[in-house]
Structure 1
Amino acid sequence: MPVGDYLLAALVFVLLVIVALLVQIRRAVQRDEVETDQLRTALHATLSEMDFAESVSRIEDRATELRDVHHDLEQLLRVPRERGAFGEEQLEIILEDHLPPDMFGVRERVVGNKTPDAHIETQEGLVCIDSKFSLDAYERAIEAQDPSERAAHERTFRNQVDEQLAKIAEDYVRPDRGTTDFAFAFVPSESVYYHLVTEEYDMLQEYTRRGVQVVSPLTLGHKLELIKAGVQARKLSEEAAEILEHLDRLDRRFDAFEDEWSTLERHVANAHTKAEDVDQEIARMRESFDRIEEPTAEE
């Protein structure tokens, strides 16, 4: 039942309660238990304090607005072109809620001359998403009263879904053209998705093996989070690998510096030894000079 109908039902229930109360009051008046003028005055004052008329008017206005919105949405989903636009907009909103802007694109030509409704950029390739879905046959099936008529519409709906999934597999599961080995078929209706999962499970499994995963707004959100987590994990792994590479280069530079320092240290040690030898030689030469007696003049 639409939300507007719920509000109208609530309003009717309140009115029934008030009518029942008035009936009881009337009976009490008829039994002379309450004076009519006093009752009328008290009832009027109570309803005025409750702003009953204004509250009822607001509820009626809100119910009318909700009913109009529900009607507009139903009309939107019944027109194929507008329904497709609604699915694309819903898909774009989900992508914006779960992924950073640099991770996805919308309606861009990325696979040859093919333009998916959206795509996600990953290290493994592009994940393409197609949001087209068939609803007319599905609606006729759930509205049909005759079992045979319902079965015929369900077969038509199944064939339409089969054709669409086959097209997605052919166009967007193309690792040779830069895509990943899977693509998403986005069904922007949880009820349609539930029907496919429960009634056409074997077909969905077959296309899953061919790389086409059928998703709803809820399941797509979960898969996007997994993809984002995988991308972030890969970035962290790449950053860790880059840090290890920097450390390895620093280690090699330190080894080279250590070799140069050892060579310099040996040179310094040799120079020190040579300086000591020179000092000793100078000391011996000085000692030899000191032993030479100065010549004495003959008298």
Structure 2
Amino acid sequence: MSSETIIILAVISGIFIVGLAAVVIFLLKKLDVIGSSLKNDAAITMMNQNMQGMQQKIDQTTRDMNDRLDRAANVIGHVSKELGSLQEIGRNMKGLQDFLKSPKLRGNIGEAILKDLLRQFLPKENFALQYKFKNGATVDAIIRIDNGLIPVDAKFPIDNFTKMFQAEAEAEKLIFAKEFTRDVKKHIDDISKKYILPGEGTVDFAVMYIPSEAIYYEIAINSGDLDRYALTKKVFLVSPNSFSYLVRTILVGLEGKKITEASKQILAALHAIRQDNDKFGQSLSVLNRHITNAKSSMEGVANEYEKLSSKIESTLVLKGENEIEKALETIE
């Protein structure tokens, strides 16, 4: 082979090698571009997935907030409605209080309650309302039994009782309590003089109807002398509950027993009620003392604990907490 042919082959080989190298370099660059593109696509895909997840969370949070706002709106609407009802009740209660400021109106309500009790327990022929005596006096009700009429008065002096419980100062309470006692005694005297009229067919006692259990309790427990004073005037004090017992006892007399037996049963029933009431009052007083003593003991323990805590804190500050801990470890 000639030298010229060898040179040509060498040149062709060199060109081929250079071309092949260029192709390889081009392919490598393309592969780098493709790899970078693939990496960017994966990043974009991941970002899109994250964005979708975040959007779903935002949508769910928005829905939850909307639900809560709807529930809050419903609650606010319900509360507003209830407040409106309470305001209306308050206005009605104020109107009722203003209505009851008149003694005559209070008396009418007491008479209405008395009338309902009588109608509930007694036949129509055995009682009468607004019964007028020959002397001109008119009693709220009478109960007819075999041997006479039982007068029942429902007009009760309540003004000073109300003032007594509304007063804040103890001195004022005592003043109104005395005035309340005086009012009740005067009313007892009036009932005894005006309505116990054997000459007009009444029995030898009358009934003073107290239209409130709270007032009756105040008289029976805290003003026991009033109850005893009423007995000396042959006036029986009754509350709505005890009056129902009284009427039931009278029913026994209406079934054929003599008035003396019926009177004894009435007295026994009233005394039994009185005893039960006294026992309840005593139990309530004992319970109140126990609660007061327990409260005092609790306050004493709390004070001692505070003093002990203060001493411990003072010791820690003066001595140093680390030194105290080391001393305790040494003791252990």
TM-score w.r.t. the length of structure 2 is 0.55
Identity among equivalent positions (%) equals 25
Q: 2:140 aligns with which of 117, 135, 140?
A: 117
- 1:1-299 equivalence runs, <5 A: 35-44=60-69, 46=71, 52=75, 55-110=78-133, 112-234=135-257
- Partner of 1:185, secondary structure, is strand
Aligned residue type for 1:40: M
- Partner of 1:116, secondary structure, is strand
Counterpart for residue 244 of structure 1: none
Give me the CA root mean square deviation: 2.5
Whole-Å separation in 2 of the counterparts to 1:208 and 1:65: 45
Going by fraction, where is helix more abundant, 1 or 2? 2
The verdict on how the C-alpha distance between 1:102 and 1:68 changes in structure 2, with shifts beyond 3 A counting, is: farther
- Partner of 1:117, secondary structure, is strand
Aligned residue type for 1:101: K
Q: Which runs of 5+ in 1 are unaligned?
A: 1-31, 236-299
The verdict on how the C-alpha distance between 1:109 and 1:198 changes in structure 2, with shifts beyond 3 A counting, is: same
Whole-Å separation in 1 of the counterparts to 2:62 and 2:104: 64
Higher relative contact order (CA 8 A, sep 6+): 1
Aligned residue type for 1:39: D
The verdict on how the C-alpha distance between 1:222 and 1:70 changes in structure 2, with shifts beyond 3 A counting, is: farther
The verdict on how the C-alpha distance between 1:166 and 1:93 changes in structure 2, with shifts beyond 3 A counting, is: same
Whole-Å separation in 1 of the counterparts to 2:77 and 2:60: 28
Answer yes or no: is the 8 Å Cα contact 1:112–1:177 preserved in 2: no
The verdict on how the C-alpha distance between 1:62 and 1:234 changes in structure 2, with shifts beyond 3 A counting, is: farther
Q: CA deviation at 1:226?
A: 1.4
Aligned residue type for 2:101: R
- Partner of 2:142, secondary structure, is strand
Rg larger for: 2
Whole-Å separation in 2 of the counterparts to 1:34 and 1:223: 74
Tell me the matched-pair count: 202
Aligned residue type for 2:130: R
Whole-Å separation in 1 of the counterparts to 2:86 and 2:157: 31
Give the stretch that moved more between structures: 225-234 or 100-109: 225-234
The verdict on how the C-alpha distance between 1:66 and 1:230 changes in structure 2, with shifts beyond 3 A counting, is: farther
TM-score w.r.t. the length of structure 1 is 0.61
Answer yes or no: is the 8 Å Cα contact 2:188–2:233 preserved in 1: no
Whole-Å separation in 2 of the counterparts to 1:201 and 1:44: 61
